[in-house]
Amino acid sequence: MNSDSDLQIAGDILEVPHLLQAPREHPSTVAEFVGLARSIAADRSQWEHLVQYDATSRWYHRLRTGPGYEVWLLSWVPGQGSGLHDHGRSSGVFTVVQGALTERTERGTRALGVGTQQVFAPGYVHEVVNDSLEPAISLHVYYPGLTEMPMHVMRCAASRPQEPGDVVTA
């Protein structure tokens, strides 16, 4: 035997059902939530007919729920933004499905194009804005479901040099 491993599998491994994990009906890991967001985003027939645009406020629609999670669809007309906020005790992932958005955090600014995904943990403070001249659509998955969205304000940088932690709860 010319193998570096002492383990060999004889026959078809797929014929050994007790060694295979049953597919999960609902996501339970970060990677599975990312995959859920990606698969829903790719299947426009699930959400495209629902999208609306509102010039006075961001439009949002709860698209799906599962055990402990929610999937939301949001539209953004040019100039609309979320305000600086976090998602309370929820973790999540969002992906841009049409147009472009800008994310601002204390670490800087990031352009988000179609297909870009952002994963975040509880307490992640950010602002999302449509800085472009075209409408945008994003898809968000929250676990556990979103029950709070505390807003934050950034202290004026002119009053003293900016330091980490300059984001304070409103």
Query: CA nearest 129: which of 84, 71, 161, 89?
Result: 84
β-strands 59-66, 108-112 pairing:
unpaired
18 labelled binding-site residue: no
Whether 142 contacts 94, CB under 8 Å: no
Indicate the SS3 state at residue 48: helix
85 labelled binding-site residue: yes
87 labelled binding-site residue: yes
**Encoded amino acid at 4, one letter:** D
DSSP codes, 74-118: EEE-TT-B--SB--TT-EEEEEEEES-EEEEETTEEEEE-TT-EE
Query: CA nearest 85: which of 153, 162, 134?
Result: 153
Structure token pair of residue 135: 């409408």
As annotated, the binding site includes 85, 87, 126
As annotated, the binding site for Fe cation includes 85, 87, 126
